[in-house]
Amino acid sequence: MTLTEKLESIAEWTMKNVSRETNHLRRANVGSTIASIEEMIEETLPEEFREVYHQVNGETGESGGVFFGNGFMSTEEIIGQLEFGLSLKKPPERRVIDKEASDRKLGEIAELYFKSIPAKKSFGLFSKKRAKAEFECSAESYSGLTIDYENGDSETALLDKQFSDRVFKLSRELHEMERLSYNWDSLQFTLFYDGDYSVERADFNWDEDFDFSSCPEAAIKKKYFNYKWIPIFQDYGGNYIGIDLDPDKKGRKGQIITFGRDEEDMVVLANDLSGLFDMSIKEMTENPDRFLAEKHLHEVLKEVRNCA
């Protein structure tokens, strides 16, 4: 069987055996989008990828996915996910190009938070003296204020609702201004009660905040996401099965791996797409109940690979 025929046989088995409705493979020409993906990742895609996607490109329908309930991603969906991976890349030399314009927006953000600090509270004959207030914002989120007092106490206060849209707008504008030259993940502000402030451009520790593992060991780089991991199948919850074009020292370029937001224990499922399809067809023929159990597909395939 060709690769496409193997995928079609899996989709047909899924349609006949899974209790819920299943989508259909979509026929489409994807020449231009394949070129776009290669330009984004600065790599040539494996010939197997081209073979499959020149025949079928994603799914049609709003039901369950054709790969045992997981969705077969279109090249357009792949590009969308790769854009997220690329957004995490940091420039080799990080700098602020237009400091005057950046400082102006930082000052506007700080001022909106200064205006959100509640009036000084009195306690009997005395009042607490504030030392500083801290908050964090990004292009996607913002926090309330943590207010610290000179006596060591602290309290929290919310950003005034009338300012929240303005903070979002300013943060997004600043991030877009500095994305190519700096690409910070968040701004960490400290406000002082003489009206001054300081700010740090900070990064999320995506790769340090999770205890990643690879099976086999040192086959997959222990990262939250890598723009050279090409997603092919998705669970619709941010987890993927895809092609690894940037393996670790004991891995193999083109290997098929699990990865995603819930995938701390990543696994090599096969050396290539053909190997993934062959393993899946063998298992669905010899042990069909595996794919019908109420268990995440990744966990099922990890068991098959003895990496559960």
Cα distance between the two ends of the chain: 30
**pLDDT for position 129:** 72
| Omega within 30 of 0 (cis) for the link into 216 | yes
Burial (CB count within 10 angstroms: exposed 0-12, middle 13-18, buried 19+), residue 82:
buried
**pLDDT for position 194:** 83
Residues facing residue 243 across a β-bridge? 230, 256
Can you name the CATH fold of 99-202? 3.30.500
Rg (CA), the chain: 25
Mean pLDDT in consecutive groups of 10 residues from the start of the chain, 308 residues: 94 90 86 88 94 93 92 95 85 94 97 86 50 92 91 88 94 95 95 92 75 91 90 95 96 96 92 97 93 89 87
Domain map of the chain by residue range? 3-88+208-304, 99-202
Q: Cα 137 vs. chain centroid, distance in angstroms?
A: 19
> Which class does domain 3-88+208-304 fall in?
alpha beta
Q: CA separation (Å) from 119 to 37, 191, 198, 281?
A: 54, 15, 22, 68
CA atoms within 13 A on the CB side of 32: 2
Maximum CA extent, the chain: 86
The H or E element spanning position 154 is: strand 154-157
**pLDDT for position 202:** 94
DSSP letters, 222-256, are: --S--TTEEEEEE-SSSEEEEEESS--TTS-TTEE
The two structure tokens encoding residue 37: 């993906």
